[in-house]
Each structure stands twice: as structure tokens, then as C-alpha cells.
């Protein structure tokens, strides 16, 4: 099975950029759909971005579309989330998720079988 470990979170000022990484184990990484979710204090976990196993399709939440970019490097078993123009409302714990399948449009937490433990992103005003 797959194990996921996120990194790259931190405390940044609004308007700057940050890149998160998700390192995955397993020889079948390239056949998994990958996604990023986030959960802010007092709110439910929400879908942020998804990417198909061949990276031919991506999907974004409206709140981040145009600012965030999801990508993957299957040779390195790594998924990235490039976050630009960060806003205070982006503050959350960001988690990487994986499931079998090739669609970028799996957006529910119940669609995913594997989860990382998350990395904290805090954006100050």
C-alpha cells in the first residue's frame, strides 16, 4: 500500500508563495490519483486540488483556482502544490491523499484510501 508524507509548510506573509511536497512510497504511485485537502480551525476538511495519474487532468477548488498549481513527478514519487498569492484564509493543515484511478475529479474525502498526516500552513496579514 501507499504511505504519504507532506512537507514544506510554514509561516508566511500574505501575497508570497509556498510549495508543498508529498512524498509517496510504493511502486504503484504512478497509477494513483493524487489530491490535496486542507482543514482550517473550526471548519471541515475541504478539497483543494486533484491530479490524474498521468497528470493529463487537474481539478481545483474555486477558492484556489488561478493561484494554486498541483503537479507530480512520478519518477520521484512526489506530488507538489505550488501556492501563489497566499491569503490569510488559506491558513490550514494541508493533507495529501491518494486513491486508485485516473480521474482528477475525485473531490470527496471518502474517495481516498491513503492519507498523509498533514503540514501546517499559516498565512499572516
Band of the pLDDT at 103, cuts 50, 70, 90?
confident
Cα separation, 79 vs 20, whole angstroms:
8
Cα separation, 6 vs 118, whole angstroms:
6
Residue 13 has pLDDT above 90, yes or no: yes
Nearest to 99 by CA among 115, 123, 121, 122: 115
Residue 26 has pLDDT above 90, yes or no: no
Cα separation, 98 vs 36, whole angstroms:
9
Cα separation, 83 vs 99, whole angstroms:
23
Q: Read off φ and ψ for residue 93, nearest 5 degrees.
A: -90, 125
Amino acid at each position: 500500500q501507499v504511505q504519504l508524507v507532506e512537507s514544506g509548510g510554514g509561516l508566511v506573509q500574505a501575497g508570497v508563495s509556498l510549495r508543498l511536497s508529498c512524498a509517496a512510497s510504493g511502486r504503484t504511485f504512478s497509477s494513483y490519483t493524487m489530491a490535496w485537502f486542507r482543514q482550517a480551525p473550526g471548519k471541515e476538511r475541504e478539497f483543494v486540488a486533484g491530479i490524474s495519474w498521468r497528470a493529463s487532468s487537474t481539478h481545483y477548488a474555486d477558492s484556489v483556482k488561478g493561484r494554486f498549481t498541483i503537479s507530480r513527478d512520478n519518477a520521484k514519487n512526489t506530488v507538489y502544490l505550488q501556492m501563489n498569492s497566499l491569503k490569510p484564509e488559506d491558513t490550514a493543515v494541508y493533507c495529501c491523499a491518494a486513491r486508485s484511478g485516473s480521474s482528477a475529479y475525485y473531490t470527496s474525502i471518502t474517495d481516498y484510501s491513503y492519507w498523509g498526516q498533514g503540514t501546517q500552513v499559516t498565512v499572516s496579514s
